Structure 1
């Protein structure tokens, strides 16, 4: 019988919340993503639900919320892909590479959704919408 212990950290049982949010490897990927988006919240999230609720509850601007939600799902997907790459192919993907995969996935998903002529300038989005985030405890 295969072990249910997390293949990445080897410390806890692997369930969806641990794999996608709670594992130290996942936390490192999220740290890269939050820094990239210039968001300093959700560091204490330990479940998928808490991350999704954090996006819904703490970002007030509709367009920025949509963008962060796409990035959130791309992060979940990339963490899952990296985990599977390690388990099934024996290839460990470092967290900084996983974070780059998130950026690539986000771009591809947005391109497919809005067409090839779309130009996504994350820097402008960050600068314009970062002030639209409600800090924890001020909701």
Structure 2
């Protein structure tokens, strides 16, 4: 950000490139640092590509974070479905964007409250999916194992929400909130046992 230029018969000068007119100021330096901070909507690859979950499950949140799922609003933007077909399958009357489906839908979004009750964690949900992922992983502490476990449960939850959405659209099949909760518990239990083969607890203890 500071440059020098050496020329014959010319006085040597230093130039503060972010503001070559007024020169260096703390305000401009601070703004420059903030502007160069990596965006917060990026999830590190190490948190996505896990050996304890199927590859298709790791690909799923990768697509979700980048708005590449075939949600109804995305299908409408691509000209695949008409405007009137964008409504959420839950019957809530809202358009099915990814944020709506996974966080704010009165049907699917309620799953997070059940998950928090199960884990004994109490917090408000952010309105952004990436922020929700980060907060969910650290909502009860920043220990590495604890965060990894919470993120694993987060993966299982969004996966089951998407499966339920597809079953309702394409198969006409529905599960209750508590049936979905039990499916999330079972799925995360088996994934966790993949990571820790000497896991000392049975499924009943896990629940």
TM-score range, shorter chain: 0.7 to 0.9
Alpha-carbon separation, structure 2, partners of 1:19 and 1:29? 11
Q: Which residue of 2 aligns with 1:60?
A: 142
Q: How does 1:69-88 map to 2 (within 5 A)?
A: 69-88=151-170
Aligned length: 123
Alpha-carbon separation, structure 1, partners of 2:182 and 2:166? 17
Q: Which runs of 5+ in 1 are unaligned?
A: 126-139
Match of 1:44 among 125, 129, 137: 125
SS of aligned partner of 2:110: helix
Q: Which residue of 2 aligns with 1:131?
A: none
Deviation of 1:26 after TM superposition, in Å, equals: 2.0
Instruction: Indicate conservation of the 8 Å contact 2:99/2:128, yes or no.
Output: yes
TM-score (norm 2): 0.53
Alpha-carbon separation, structure 2, partners of 1:75 and 1:120? 21
1:75-126 CA distance string (max 9 Å, x none): 10111111111111101111111111110110111122333x323479x99x
SS of aligned partner of 2:86: coil
Larger Rg: 2
Deviation of 1:29 after TM superposition, in Å, equals: 0.8
Match of 2:105 among 13, 17, 23: 23
4+ residue runs of structure 1 moved beyond 4 angstroms?
A: none
Two-structure CA RMSD over aligned residues (Å): 2.4
TM-score (norm 1): 0.76
